[in-house]
Structure 1
Amino acid sequence: MDVCTLGDLLDAVGGASVRLVTAPAGLTAPVTEALLYDAHAPLPRVPGALLLAVGVRPDDAGPVLAAAAEAGMTGVVLRGAEGHAPDDVHGVALLSVDEDAAWHHVHLLLASAIGARPAPSAGGLGDLFALADAIAAAAGGATAVEDPRQRILAYSTVPGQPVDEDRRQGILGLQVPVSAENTEQYRRLFAADGPVRLPALRDGGLPRLAVAVRAGGETLGSVWVIDAGTLAPDAEDTLVQGASTAALLLLRARAARELARHLGDDLLRRLLEGTADAATAAQRLGLDGAVRVAAFVPDATASVPDAERTALRLLDVVRLQCEARYGRHACVLVDGVVYALLPAPGARHRALAEDIVARAGRALRVPVRAALGGTVPDVAGAAESRADADLVLRILDPDLPVAAIDEVRPRVVLLRLRELMAEHRELSADGAWRRVLSYDAEHGTDHARTLVCWFDAGCDMAGAAKRLAVHPNTCRYRLRQVQRQLGVDLDDPDERLVLWLQLRTLAGLRQATA
């Protein structure tokens, strides 16, 4: 599928709003999304992106332009760049907006245009613009196609057709202005079975002819035509036919989005399993360089009425937060665990995980845990990072809801040793550790815990006694009993090491504290 190009974007929003200063790569360069620049965060690698250089003056834009080029971006948007463009734009396109333009407004405008109007040959939502022009020409009035949330998906550009301020503002932000009067008109529209004629909302405005777009009882959006007294006699019939075509286009676009997401999810799932081609995955996911896997899961001990629905909601939270920081992002739900593939550098990964855990916990009303696997050189190592994250998930608890593999590696190693030892009879069935535990159970002694505290204190008697909150002579007596009655040679370093590992891993004993 083709993507939106720089030329397509300028056709949709260019002119007074966004102006092209220079395009070294031409107008056919792809534009994938619009990102806001954050001077305090590393620039993400998002090929084809437009970077909105918030807080950057044209005279100081050189480093940002160079970084954008290094990240594979298509262009940079600056305030007041005309006449002040740097001599070297490093091969990226440079666009300009007015000095008083609000960055959030510019971001909304560009992001909506990129998402709503791909290249004309791409079909889907791009065809809605052609449909809007066709309806406008046949009905005799400027036309707009909206989704159920009053976001403008497409609009006509037939010359000479009258428009009013509401249309201008709606197209500028790709969102119908909110008002009580608008809400009432939409209520009337969606309650009707056919076209509805609606009066102007304010002085200087123009009335509308509108119809809901439906498919199988589902409302997909609406089509609006401005009635400036020039509508054709069969305008209502034209509108009904146009709504039918719009329904097909919207369903097709939805299917294409769902298919793309499904394919992306399947690719990431295979990448995490180690069965995907790494080069293909890196290209399709837009991840070039070091990555790490983050894993998120609801607390298994919490009561969750609908575990599947909770996991899907967690996926939405993780995807939203990752996309807000890294743009288009790879997240997938596998066996109740949400995995996200995070690009390096990873200095901010833990903060992101903590933020997601807090947000998801509030939204889902269920505690959430997060684990960060190790950083690997490229996506080929994603399965290894995922394995690390899975291990970390298993040792998390309410006192440690978020952790990275490097922070808890000793505990992870002990976990794996316990599993390995439990799988092999010669490592777990017999030995001194079982004799010690049996003796404690039969005689009510505390020899096993005394041994663990002594080992953990580096075989220092005073340190072990402090951990046990007993007199050193008591600790010394217990150890003599272990040697005499149970035949454990505590002078043998090999026996000490094996006994300590078995008590810590297989018996799950930890030192006591005073």
Structure 2
Amino acid sequence: MDTGEGVARSVTPAAASSAAVGTLRDLLESLGPHTLRLVGGDRARLARPAGEPVVHGPDEPIHDVAGAVVLLTGGSSDPAEVTDRIRQAAAAGASAVVVKAWGRDLGRAVEAAREADIALLCTPDEMAWRRLDAFVTAAGAARAAVPGEAGGIGDLFGLANAIAASLGGPVTIEEVDGRILAYSNLPDQEIDEIRRLAILGRRTPERPGDAAKYQAVIAAQGPVRFASSGPEYADRMSVAVRAGHQVLGVIFVLADRPKLVDDAERALLDAARSVALHLLRSREAVSPERERRGDALRGLLASSLDAASAAAALALPARASFVLATVRPVASELRAADAARVRDLITLHGEHWHPESAAVLEAGDVVLLLPVLDPPQDDRGQARLAARLRRLGTDLVTAARRSAGVELVVGFGAVVDGLAAVAGSRPLARRVVDTLLDPRADPPHGGVATLHDVRPQVVLACLRSGAPIDEDVLRLPAVRAVLRHDADQGTDYAGTLLAYLGSAGSVAATARALGVHENTARYRVRRLTEMFGVALDAGDDTLVTWLQLRNAVRGPRGARG
């Protein structure tokens, strides 16, 4: 006996209207006869909106369901009761009702639907009501995810049909655990029993070796083919759906019912990129948590939200360490759809770094806040963190180029302690990006740089603009190491370096300035490069080294080195 799994949900007319993002015809075409079919009512009624699904049990009143698709649960309901519930749903403004036949004649229900002027839909007896509810909801949410965009990329079921048509075989779009997100429904493409059960159960049936197959798809860089386990089953081809390093899902296509097109592997790779864009938009559309974090970051940057309040909104400790990234399109303006996709990519990559990261659009840039759980304690730690940030930025740039055709540059600022210091670190992250886009600069690191990579260029940019310089943050690691060694060991490598650079690299002049033998001066200069990594002929690096040492040390002191 079907007990109507789940609890009845009511929906106000306004909610139903907002959920009505397609028609009943759209819904039937998306889900197909394996899930829903029209059994009663004029087909003209299919032009009505398909609103939110509303589940109702046998003894529950039906009201306030304008535009909704009402699921009439109850497997042993008396036919007279079913017809009465159909009339109630019509009177309450529903667009359609869904019943199960349970092997009996639906004549009385069909007649009641005709008289009540409502569409009567039927779902297979083995379809669980909670799964049908999820399918109808997913079809509506997918269609609404990118409203008004050409090509219907917001409709995941329609996208599955488009992929199936281009490949020549039935398609499912799944999460990595086998849950079905959408499937194709083209009349000339036959499915096998596994696919039918997957549609009915909204999940691929578990069979030995399935987990290994999914892992093989995720690990592969391209499509993977799987031979059938018997003549009654179809061969399959699959590919992972990715956004940069992040796996969003998988696509499976039946490969021999009929045989796929000749360039199926290339077409499947193209399809994966389209599905990635859709899934990114869908994630954003259903994630109020992202909006909450974005609002908190916006307030923090504008100094309209204090650190304690921001920490509560971000679910992060106020005294943790953080780094800000500035992400900027190379083109001055982006289409609205491209801007939305880029924002989604940035948010997704930030969440891969830490689930409580936050992103917000500010003055044409996307600002990304990244928690740093293991803040560097020394220059080596800074270098390791810079390498990790560069990998994140490179993945993001690559994903934006492949998925949205957009070129980005990404700049990471300094690590700061506590949310209270985040707003003050924003200018440095912006200056890193400015350096990457400066036509006078050396070729950028693939459009990605950290403050660690371009600190000399940032120092010079601050000097040109007259902006204040934070000596502690912007001091070069080599300069810091020299000054620390001199203070700890009583040496004067700083004086040696100033004398050497001040004499345009003349060892003889350096020796005279220090009052030492030329061999001693030469030894000290060599030790500067060996011990501290001082760059003596590196343009901006060398100039900034001299400037910072000159500010810290007022000329050579003649001490030992």
TM-score (ref. length: structure 2): 0.41
